A and B are shown apart, each in its own frame.
Chain A
Amino acid sequence: MANLFKSFSTWIIIGVIAAILPLIFDSSFALTLLSKMGVLIIFTVAYNMLLGQGGMLSFGHAIYFGLAGYASIHIMNGIGAETLPYFPTVLFPLIGAVVGLFFGSLVGYVSTRRAGTAFAMISLGFCEMVTAMTLIFVLFFNGEDGIQTDRMVGPEPFGISFGPQIEIYYLILFWCVITVALMYIITKTPFGRMSNAVRENPERAAFIGYSVRRVRWQAFALSSMFAGAAGSLHALNYEHIGFESVSVIQSGAVLFMAFIGGAGHFLGPIVGAIGLTYLDSTLADYTEAWLLYLGLTFSGIVMFAPGGLAGLIVMHGPIARTDKKLLTSLVKPYLLAIGSVVTGLIGLIGIIEMLYFRSLISKGEGEVIIFWTEFNANGITSWLIFIGLILGGIFLSKKTFPMAKESWDHAISVVKTEISHE
């Protein structure tokens, strides 16, 4: 019990911090952003039950998120029109969960017969199919416009109408804590362990008595269930749902968040959901090329840090446990390496921004603001500066990266000798 409390204390602290956040950042922009983060944290952690925990790459997980959203909005409208009996708004994510579980079980039964590429392709196919359906079955999905609702229906217990955004934020937070805690606990159950085992080695898993298909199917269904809960909250948050919520774009977004955050670690998707949602809302104001940077980041992570951000942190765990000094010895070479990469990136971003600027406004004034500084996109000087930064970054990287790698190799070799001496 003490252990259980200890493992939950971190969650409680995070929950409390999240609860007081709106008091610190009280702008409506911040509140909207925090609400969105909460919804996407649930969705991304749910998605990672497949990707990270179960080793299944899905390109179509938005189906369960989106369909749950549609169902929630229809039911809410039904309650509003008094064609349906009253159902408390607080419990709406349960509706989403049921819808997600239903469709997840159905589609999962088919798609989890196959693994790997075939599974990924089937998920993509279903996603395209459902997206097409939203445009065909207009009566239910209302095509490209999607459907609206008014979340202020029924009685208002304790004066909570869920009209103000702050009330929706706390509703999202409440469900975020519950669902993420549940998904965390699930990783500690026999099913959760076997889900990892199937990811690692399906053949072996079968020969210790487990049906690989059943494990995958269950993972798929549960993951869809939690995605459905997130979809309900998404619908309540915006009082609107559209076809893009079931689409490949939404499916891709959740994949990006889980992967960049780090699919191999439970906290990774949470980091990814928070980080990318924040960047999506803020960077989009600064640059039109934000999606390009997102794509570059994703490619970079896939190539150089397949464990995502969480993976980068976790891989230093053994070093920190062996000797704290070993870890501090890595700081300097790392900072140098990061510094050289950042130098090159500043150059790259400068070039991209100027190209983008010129492709939009090819004539007239060439003043473009990059990193809070004014540059002339028509003048040779600004181009030379940024090209110089790129070349400088490459030059410095060639010097600093081997240093960083050497320090890392040294640290790891120390750790390995420590282990073998035990």
Chain B
Amino acid sequence: MSNVLQLKNVSKSFGEAKIIKNLNLDIKKNERHAIIGPNGAGKSTLFHLISGHYKLTSGKIKLNNKEINDLEPHEINRKGLARSFQVTNIFPKMSVYENIRCGILWSMGFKYSIIRLVNGDKELNNKTNSLLEEINLKHCAHIPAGLLSYADQRALEIGITIAGGADTLMLDEPTAGMSNSETERAVNLIKKISEKRTLVVVEHDMGVVFDLADRISVLVYGEIIATDTPKKIRENKAVQEAYLGTEDH
């Protein structure tokens, strides 16, 4: 299998503090890859680096064999990588419908047009509706997104993330702060949307991680100490000591 995402000797420092240290990581095509690690390990920083939100201090990141480490977030997005955020990141005053529709615009080639009308485009609106059905938010399509419940806002965020048709999805703690039933719903949604796509997910809920992931990488203090299948990660001594073990105490 080919690698969709390749990180080579990636480092990131904020002043003196080295947050990511010479990190190497390969994400295979169509796998569901979870990144776990204790608080402050650098998981979110890693996401910000890959998506172009932060610039690398050194190293290289390749998406589909093309270097992306010097690109702006919107350029990386156009190359087929989409992400969600740890803190819900939607367009709160716009309707749920508009949130999704905006997510689709670029992929359908609308660009910055001032001569096409968004309401008049059948394909765009059909796509919006079917995506709303997929994330189960059709019933509240015309409510301002900021008024949705927390779980629904998270679902909407996932909807915006997949709207542009990216092949590689990165979800940052998609189930954080959810109740058990909400988490179950979210996991089912993530499973559904990540079929035939590559998924990289940061998650704290180990139940979710072992349920979802094909492979798991363990990030501790800016370094990946292991990458393997869930079963082998569970058995890995170093991982147990560094991370999983602490939860058993």
Q: Are B77 and A188 in contact (CB under 8 A)?
A: no
Interface of A is mostly: helix
**Nearest neighbor of A211 in chain B, beta-carbon distance:** B74
**Nearest neighbor of A204 in chain B, beta-carbon distance:** B89
Within the complex, what minimum Cβ distance (angstroms) separates B163 from chain A? 7
**Nearest neighbor of B139 in chain A, beta-carbon distance:** A422
Given contacts A200-B94, A209-B164, contact A218 B112 (CB under 8 A): yes
Given contacts A200-B94, A214-B112, A422-B139, contact A208 B117 (CB under 8 A): no
Q: Are A207 and B78 in contact (CB under 8 A)?
A: no
Q: Is B38 an interface residue (CB 8 A)?
A: no
0/1 string, B71-105, CB within 8 A of A gives 1: 01110011000110100011111100010011101
A193-B106 Cα distance, complex, nearest whole Å: 12
Q: Is A215 an interface residue (CB 8 A)?
A: yes
Q: Are B91 and A197 in contact (CB under 8 A)?
A: yes
Q: Is A186 an interface residue (CB 8 A)?
A: yes
Pick from B53, B143, B164: contact of A208, CB below 8 A. B164
List the B side residues contacting A185 at CB < 8 Å. 117
Q: How large is the interface on A (under 10, 10 to 19, 20 to 34, 35 or more residues)?
A: 20 to 34
A194-B110 Cα distance, complex, nearest whole Å: 11
A210-B51 Cα distance, complex, nearest whole Å: 14
0/1 string, B139-177, CB within 8 A of A gives 1: 110010000000000000000110110000000000000
Q: Are B94 and A209 in contact (CB under 8 A)?
A: no
Given contacts A190-B118, A207-B74, contact A197 B112 (CB under 8 A): no
List the A side residues contacting B139 at CB < 8 Å. 422
Pick from A188, A204, A210, A218: contact of B118, CB below 8 A. A188
A205-B51 Cα distance, complex, nearest whole Å: 13
A205-B53 Cα distance, complex, nearest whole Å: 12
- From residue 33 to 73 of chain B, which have CB atoms closer than 8 A to chain A? 51, 53, 72-73
Within the complex, what minimum Cβ distance (angstroms) separates A321 from chain B? 11
- From residue 134 to 170 of chain A, which have CB atoms closer than 8 A to chain B? none
Pick from A193, A210, A211, A215: contact of B98, CB below 8 A. A193
Within the complex, what minimum Cβ distance (angstroms) separates A399 from chain B? 32
Q: Is B227 an interface residue (CB 8 A)?
A: no
A80-B72 Cα distance, complex, nearest whole Å: 52
Q: Are B90 and A419 in contact (CB under 8 A)?
A: no
**Nearest neighbor of A208 in chain B, beta-carbon distance:** B103
Q: Are B112 and A215 in contact (CB under 8 A)?
A: yes
Q: Are B91 and A200 in contact (CB under 8 A)?
A: yes
A357-B245 Cα distance, complex, nearest whole Å: 81
Q: Are B105 and A207 in contact (CB under 8 A)?
A: no
List the A side residues contacting B140 at CB < 8 Å. 419, 422
A214-B73 Cα distance, complex, nearest whole Å: 13
A384-B110 Cα distance, complex, nearest whole Å: 66
A212-B106 Cα distance, complex, nearest whole Å: 13
B-side residues, CB < 8 A to A, are 51, 53, 72-74, 77-78, 82-83, 85, 89-94, 98, 101-103, 105-107, 110-119, 139-140, 143, 160-161, 163-164
Chain A to chain B: the 3 pairs with minimum beta-carbon distance, closest first? A209-B106, A190-B110, A200-B91
What are 11 inter-chain pairs, A to B, with CB distance below 8 A?
A191-B112, A191-B114, A200-B94, A204-B89, A207-B77, A207-B83, A208-B164, A209-B74, A210-B105, A210-B112, A211-B74
Beyond A191-B114, A203-B89, 6 additional pairs, beta carbon < 8 A: A196-B91, A196-B98, A201-B89, A203-B85, A207-B82, A210-B112
